[in-house]
Structure 1
């Protein structure tokens, strides 16, 4: 599971957003529902992708302090 997972989940989210375009046609205010759904999905995806990629390739490598050197 590497960076390709971000790409595949992004495609899944795009598919759900396209599906939302056709789902909310019968509501009282379809533009509001579509906008809220697509914006929520996009923000959740971006937050997840940034967090996932930051953990996948950290900028600062953690160092362990509990290692002992036996002399």
Structure 2
């Protein structure tokens, strides 16, 4: 089940990956390009995953079922 530890574990994995990318980038004139590409793409992927995860974990809008019979529909709907 999803919980808050998923974000912490994901963040730790990304930090470790960024550290390894910093140290393992091939030496040469394109070392900065390699480092920037690997670190920025990892952070962008993590942010996209985290935003999607949080949007599904705590939705801002609660779905309303339309397939219920009128006698089973609550009279007061919280919006």
Q: TM-score, normalised to structure 1's length? A: 0.88
Aligned to 1:45: 46
**How many residues end up aligned between the 2 structures?**
71
- Give the drift of 1:28: 4.2
C-alpha root-mean-square deviation of aligned residues, in Å?
A: 1.7
Q: TM-score, normalised to structure 2's length? A: 0.80
Aligned to 1:29: 30
User: Where do 5+ consecutive residues of structure 2 fail to align?
Assistant: 73-79
Runs (4+) off by over 4 Å: none
- Give the drift of 1:2: 1.0
Distance in 2 (CA, whole Å) between partners of 1:32 and 1:51 is: 28
Higher relative contact order (CA 8 A, sep 6+): 1
